[in-house]
Chain A
Amino acid sequence: MQTAVSRGIPSRQLIRRHVLRNAAIPITTVAGITIASLIAVAAVVEVAFSLNGLGAYLVASAQSKDLAVVQGISLVLVTAFVVINLIVDVLYAVLDPRVALGSRAQ
């Protein structure tokens, strides 16, 4: 930070390129977890406002013990979680060059 200031970089560029970039890493982590839980909590919202979404379908089939449907929907949701986590992990590398992806780590 001090180096950047002493180099006379304008403060707007300083904040965008140096402060935000470093601050963005924990934000991405939290955002990933939040999105994952929001997908699950969507079921509650769908039931509350009687929207016929995936979540409401999951709850209805859980109530009637329709295991095949439960399995299918949870597979879709879990795939979504995996994709979100993948995006978060890739974003780490984009935001912080010190995090290397894959075989470049060696």
Chain B
Amino acid sequence: MTAAVPVTVRSTTRGARAVGMLRATGPAGIASAIVIAVAIFMAIFGTWLAPFDPITPNLSLAWVGPTGAHLLGYDFEGRDVLSRLIVGARTSMLGPLAVVLGSMIAGALLAVAAAWRGGTLDAFISSGLDVLFAFPGILLAVLAAAVFGAGLTAAAIALSIAYMPYVARVLRGAALKERSQPYVAALEVQGASGPSICLRHLIPNIMPLIVAQATILFGYAMVDLAAISFLGLGVQPPEPNWGVMISENQVGIPQGYPLPALAACVCIVAVVIAFNVLGERLFEQAQAAPR
């Protein structure tokens, strides 16, 4: 035990590393990051940005097409589609964010605990997650809506539980690999406690993987939450939300007014593709980069 083991190497600041990680994802990654940034901006400042009232209906304007001031026209109740898209970004982004945070925190803790303790606990957690694995998120969310009432909270909690095994499986593998690294043994020799090594050294070291996983998961969560809102079990109308907008305006598609529904579809697809592309790139980096 003579060789000094570098525990955590931080050559640059956190912000500079994040920029470097992003730059290494290439043009597609940067384009995705821009799309995501716009969506986040809309989610935060949407209520002040929206040019028109997104909620009050005006039936005399129902299905009116695009005009100069209303770039995307009006929806089935005569509300400005663009305003609804901008304001709806908040609920559309907040739900997946809650799902990602919930499933990542729970999944990471379970995965690290399983990898750290091994043995019975590992077997217990792994088999429990295998059971959850076979259960689709949408079904769990529908059941949660039936029991706790329709709403974003119930759906988000259900999806967090449904996504947890995907997170935990990947992170458990990574944590197992990290567990056998020499720095962990060095810390143990120094007398650091298990939880402290896990929280202060092991989790920061698998952080790139966690970030990449969270990014990919965000896309999946967005699709599933949009589907749930579409079914009428998530965000409740007249609250603007991209999934709600599709279900409200889908009657317009066969009637020859596809724009309101399609505009919401395009928003969801664009953001999900952006998150998937960025997530895949970050994932490749996290797997390739020696830490």
* A and B part of one assembly: yes
- Residues on A lying within 8 angstroms of B by beta carbon are 32-33, 36-37, 39-41, 43-44, 47-48, 58-59, 61-63, 65-67, 70, 74, 77-78, 81-82, 85
- Chain B residues within 8 Å of chain A by Cβ, number: 21
**Chain A residues with CB under 8 A of B138:** 37, 40-41, 43-44
Whole-angstrom CA separation of A67 from B142 in the bound complex: 11
Contact residues in A for B227 (Cβ distance below 8 Å): 41, 44
Is A59's CB under 8 angstroms from B231's CB?
yes
Q: Which residues of B contact A39 (CB under 8 A)?
A: 136
Q: Which residue of A lies closest to B232 (CB)?
A: A63
Could you say which residues of chain A place their CB within 8 Å of the CB of B233? 59, 62-63
Task: Name the residue on B nearest A64 (C-beta).
Answer: B146
Contact A48 B143 (CB under 8 A): no
Cα-based distance from A94 to B134 in the complex (angstroms): 21
- In the complex, chain A residues whose CB is within 8 Å of the CB of B136: 36-37, 39-41
A44-B227, A63-B232, A63-B233 known; A85 and B143 CB under 8 Å?
no
Complex Cα distance, B131 from A81, in Å, reads: 11
Chain B residues positioned under 8 Å from A36 (CB to CB): 134-136
**Cβ contact within 8 Å between A70 and B231:** no
A44 touching B139 by the CB < 8 A rule? no
CA distance A106 to B250 in the complex (A): 57
19 contacts between A and B (CB under 8 A): A33-B133, A36-B135, A37-B137, A43-B142, A43-B231, A44-B231, A47-B230, A48-B250, A59-B142, A59-B233, A62-B145, A62-B150, A63-B145, A63-B232, A63-B233, A65-B149, A67-B147, A70-B143, A70-B146
- Smallest CB gap from A74: residue in B: B143
A81 closest partner in B (C-beta): B134
Q: Tell me whether B149 and A33 are in contact (CB under 8 A).
A: no
